[in-house]
């Protein structure tokens, strides 16, 4: 058993190394990788874009890196709920309308991505093409609510005031299979988007009421339910209040905020929330609960949770700090990949391979290790 546990830990260490390294190579720095032992999809189309996950036992969210098949650096690309059973998200990400042009964050210069030590907080940092704006997203799953929080900071690094900035948060959630039959509405009094379907509901909002919104239809170019992503390209959303997914077509949403001006050295801060629930009331309650928290308190709660979790573990003997960090990250990964019902998932992704399994053998080894 000791030998088995050692091998198991080695594998977990290797899987955890990517998310712990705060200096992940950027796309242009990637060397060609051997494809011999990859799954068929990755061999044919390239690696999955997954960078890191954040999870609370009932849902897990994945953030994209800057390379891989269909990569959108910093975008949220999976939302596995409930109990990690099904992915409800194509993608969600921010964009900024600046100098009469919309740029999604993943189209800007990616500076680096990291996972904050001993937490599940995923950080992505960007710079505008003209080097005047720095943008930083921090994504984390709340411990006490089925809510993903995105904390966004935009800093003016230039020596001049930048005017007429508009910020957008785009999301393409799917409640039913591929979004067919999904309903999406914007509720003006609450300032939120509401996704509804069978037994799952999502509330999407921020801590600042949006001035613009769009309840859109994915690739729907003919009606007021105009595609919410395309709708932001001119910096002005159509403010459509509702849309419904048809056969093979889902619904997508967008929230817009006006920054007006940002003085030299000034920072703009906003929080976004994707809250899940079995019905609209539950998802909205989760959103309200998350919205009441200050970001500093969310960070502290996350740090405290993992500090208590890691304190239960045996400490490695005779290892340097780099190995210790990887060891702690491995323990966090094991916890993140264990659902609240006790199932240990085989993979924290459904992108590739589509691996929605839990193996009794692997789960038993994991349970044995954690018990020891």
Distance (Å, rounded) from C-alpha 12 to C-alpha 327? 9
Does the pTM exceed 0.85? yes
pLDDT digits (tens, 9 = 90+) for 235-273: 999 999 999 987 667 899 999 999 989 999 999 999 999
Worst-scoring range by mean pLDDT, 16-20, 87-91, 122-126? 16-20
Distance CA 106, CA 74 (A): 7
Q: What is the CATH number of the domain that holds 187?
A: 2.70.98.10
Query: How distant is the alpha carbon of residue 139 from its chain centre?
Result: 6
Beta strand spans in the chain (E): 50-55, 60-64, 76-80, 89-98, 101-104, 109-115, 122-127, 133-141, 147-156, 162-173, 183-187, 192-196, 201-206, 212-217, 242-244, 251-262, 267-277
The end-to-end CA distance of the chain, in Å, is 11
Q: Identify the domain containing residue 345 by its residue range.
A: 2-371
Average pLDDT of the residues in 160-173: 96
Give the per-residue pLDDT at 39.
65
**214 contacts 231 by C-beta, under 8 angstroms:** yes
Q: How does residue 367 score in pLDDT terms, banded at 50, 70 and 90?
A: confident
Alpha carbon 203 to its chain centroid, in Å, reads 15
Domains held by the chain: number = 1
Mean of the per-residue pLDDT values of the chain: 88
């Amino acid at each position: 058993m000791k030998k088995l546990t050692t091998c198991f830990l080695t594998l977990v260490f290797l899987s955890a190394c990517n998310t712990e390294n705060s200096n992940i190579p950027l796309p242009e720095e990637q060397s060609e990788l051997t494809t011999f032992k990859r799954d068929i999809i990755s061999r044919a189309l390239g690696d999955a874009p997954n960078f890191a996950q954040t999870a609370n036992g009932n849902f897990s969210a994945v953030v994209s890196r800057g390379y891989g098949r269909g990569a959108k650096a910093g975008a949220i690309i999976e939302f596995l709920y409930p109990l990690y059973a099904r992915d409800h998200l194509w993608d969600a990400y921010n964009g900024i309308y600046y100098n009469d042009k919309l740029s999604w964050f993943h189209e800007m210069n990616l500076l680096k991505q990291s996972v904050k030590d001993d937490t599940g907080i995923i950080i992505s940092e960007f710079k505008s093409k003209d080097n005047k704006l720095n943008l930083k997203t921090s994504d984390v799953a709340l411990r006490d609510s089925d809510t993903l929080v995105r904390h966004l900071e935009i800093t003016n690094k230039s020596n001049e005031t930048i005017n007429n900035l508009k910020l957008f948060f785009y999301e393409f959630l799917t409640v039913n299979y591929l979004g067919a039959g999904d309903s999406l509405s914007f509720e003006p009094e609450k300032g939120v988007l509401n996704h509804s379907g069978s037994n799952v509901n999502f509330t999407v909002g921020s801590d600042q009421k949006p001035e613009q919104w769009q309840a859109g239809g994915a690739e729907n170019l003919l009606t007021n339910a105009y595609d919410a992503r395309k709708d932001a390209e001119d910096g002005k959303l159509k403010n459509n209040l509702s849309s419904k997914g048809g056969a093979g077509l889902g619904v997508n949403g967008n929230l817009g905020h006006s920054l007006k001006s940002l003085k030299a050295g000034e920072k703009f801060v906003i929080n976004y929330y994707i809250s899940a629930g079995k019905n609209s009331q539950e998802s909205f309650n989760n959103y309200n609960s998350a919205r009441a928290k200050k970001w500093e308190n969310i960070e502290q709660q996350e740090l405290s949770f993992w500090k208590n979790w890691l304190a239960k573990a045996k400490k490695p003997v005779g290892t340097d700090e780099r190995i210790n960090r990887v060891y702690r990250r491995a323990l966090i990964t094991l916890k993140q990949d264990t659902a609240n019902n006790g199932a240990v998932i085989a993979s924290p992704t459904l992108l590739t391979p589509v691996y929605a399994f839990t193996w009794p053998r692997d789960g038993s080894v994991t349970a044995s290790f954690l018990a020891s």
